[in-house]
């Protein structure tokens, strides 16, 4: 279930949020969408889920046109929003039953799907408790369980680990990995937590100032991280240190022996966060 976005534009009252945005997400990908506050991540995800209208541009979801196949697209997609999307006074089970019935699930099919969603998110002990009594981590898990009810082929998760402790975060990340691996669900994951995205995603894009400023496979990004550039007077030597620093120390010794003068050494980005801050610059966003 691939996603192909072309020249997507969106403004809110003259404030340009998405400017001719182009993006491709492959089927089965665990795709990390990063960006500073206000970059437009939620707007993009909301447009793809018919929650916000676009101004112009096209999007194909599994080869279906966003402008023409709303119902079919809705039937294969699901969004787990940043905010809690359930009724606090209902129990977890009642919430799942209610939202499952909105998807047209009935009787045995509904029961089976609810059981699956409860199992994946380990909510067994809490299904008869009212949702407002849940901890932050449990609320997030219930949000995800609801998002899985329609067996989505594409699942959008908008900052699903905000405000929860490291244990719950780790648990939720593993749940998401499992869904991607077992059900081959394409996952679009927005987050501010770089280490989460580094752990979870196989491809990463950064949205900043209304454009995609980087899209790369994670392995390529990590490979770039391991490259040290030694700048001489008239050449740049790249040393890959992914297997350790032996190559680097050998190269330095060789250059010394050859009496080559080193002008500068660029150690690259320390990690994804370092790269993110470098690319999006460090100024504070509103």
Ligand X SMILES: Nc1ncnc2c1ncn2[C@@H]1O[C@H](COP(=O)(O)OP(=O)(O)OP(=O)(O)O)[C@@H](O)[C@H]1O
Q: Which window, 21-29, 35-43, 58-66, 160-168, contacts ligand X (CB under 6 A)?
A: 35-43
The smaller minimum CB distance to ligand X, of residues 33 and 149, is found at 33
Q: Which of 44, 30, 81 is nearest to 187 (CA)?
A: 30
Task: Say which residues have a Cβ less than 8 Å from residue 212's Cβ, sequence separation at least 6.
Answer: 21, 22, 23, 205, 206
Residues from 8 through 27 that contact ligand X (CB under 6 A): 12, 15, 17
User: How far is Cα 148 from Cα 139, in angstroms, rounded to an integer?
Assistant: 14
The smaller minimum CB distance to ligand X, of residues 22 and 174, is found at 22
User: How far is Cα 188 from Cα 157, in angstroms, rounded to an integer?
Assistant: 6
Q: Which window, 34-42, 215-223, 237-245, 259-267, contacts ligand X (CB under 6 A)?
A: 34-42
Residues from 36 through 95 that contact ligand X (CB under 6 A): 37-43
The smaller minimum CB distance to ligand X, of residues 82 and 130, is found at 82
**What spatial distance separates the first Cα and last Cα of the chain, rounded to whole Å?**
34
- The SS3 assignment for 130 reads strand
In whole angstroms, the minimum distance from the beta carbon of 159 to ligand X comes to 7
The smaller minimum CB distance to ligand X, of residues 12 and 245, is found at 12
In whole angstroms, the minimum distance from the beta carbon of 286 to ligand X comes to 7
In whole angstroms, the minimum distance from the beta carbon of 142 to ligand X comes to 21
CB count within 10 Å of CB 47 equals 23
The smaller minimum CB distance to ligand X, of residues 33 and 228, is found at 33
Q: Which window, 33-41, 114-122, 168-176, 179-187, contacts ligand X (CB under 6 A)?
A: 33-41
Work out whether 5 is an interface residue with ligand X (CB under 6 A).
no
Work out whether 35 is an interface residue with ligand X (CB under 6 A).
yes
The smaller minimum CB distance to ligand X, of residues 29 and 280, is found at 280
Distances (CA, A) of 234 to 68, 140, 239, 260, 263: 57, 55, 17, 10, 10
In whole angstroms, the minimum distance from the beta carbon of 141 to ligand X comes to 21
In whole angstroms, the minimum distance from the beta carbon of 271 to ligand X comes to 20
In whole angstroms, the minimum distance from the beta carbon of 37 to ligand X comes to 4
In whole angstroms, the minimum distance from the beta carbon of 35 to ligand X comes to 5
The smaller minimum CB distance to ligand X, of residues 45 and 228, is found at 45
- DSSP H helices, the chain, are 41-48, 70-76, 92-102, 107-120, 136-147, 166-183, 194-200, 218-225, 246-257, 272-280
The string of DSSP letters for 207-275 reads: EETTEEEEEEEHHHHHHHHTEEEEEESS-EEEEE-TT-SHHHHHHHHHHHHTTPPEEEEE---SSHHHH
Residues near ligand X (CB under 6 A), total: 11
Contact residues toward ligand X (CB under 6 A) are 12, 15, 17, 35, 37-43
């Amino acid at each position: 279930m691939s996603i192909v976005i072309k020249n997507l534009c969106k403004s809110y009252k003259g404030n340009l949020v998405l400017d001719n945005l182009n993006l491709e997400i492959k089927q089965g990908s665990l795709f990390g969408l990063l960006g500073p506050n206000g970059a437009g991540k939620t707007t993009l995800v909301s447009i793809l889920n018919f929650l916000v209208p676009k101004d112009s541009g096209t999007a194909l979801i599994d080869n279906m046109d966003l402008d023409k196949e709303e119902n079919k697209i809705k039937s294969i997609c699901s969004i787990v929003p940043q905010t809690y999307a359930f009724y606090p006074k209902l129990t977890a089970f009642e919430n799942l039953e209610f939202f499952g019935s909105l998807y047209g699930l009935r009787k045995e099919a509904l029961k089976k799907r609810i059981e699956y969603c409860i199992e994946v998110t380990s909510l067994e002990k809490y299904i008869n408790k009212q949702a407002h009594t849940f901890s932050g981590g449990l609320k997030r898990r219930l949000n995800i369980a609801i998002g899985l009810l329609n067996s989505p082929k594409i699942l959008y998760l908008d900052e699903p680990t905000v405000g929860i402790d490291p244990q719950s975060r780790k648990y939720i990340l593993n749940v998401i990995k499992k869904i991607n691996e077992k059900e081959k669900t394409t996952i679009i994951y927005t987050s501010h937590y770089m280490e989460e995205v580094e752990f979870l995603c196989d491809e990463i894009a950064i949205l900043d100032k209304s454009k995609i400023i980087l899209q790369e496979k994670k392995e390529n990004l990590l490979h770039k991280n391991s490259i040290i550039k030694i700048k001489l007077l008239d050449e740049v030597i790249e040393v890959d240190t992914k297997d350790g620093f032996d190559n680097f120390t050998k190269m330095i010794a060789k250059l010394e022996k050859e009496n080559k003068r080193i002008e500068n050494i660029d150690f690259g980005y320390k990690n994804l966060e370092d790269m993110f801050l470098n690319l999006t610059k460090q100024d504070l966003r509103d």
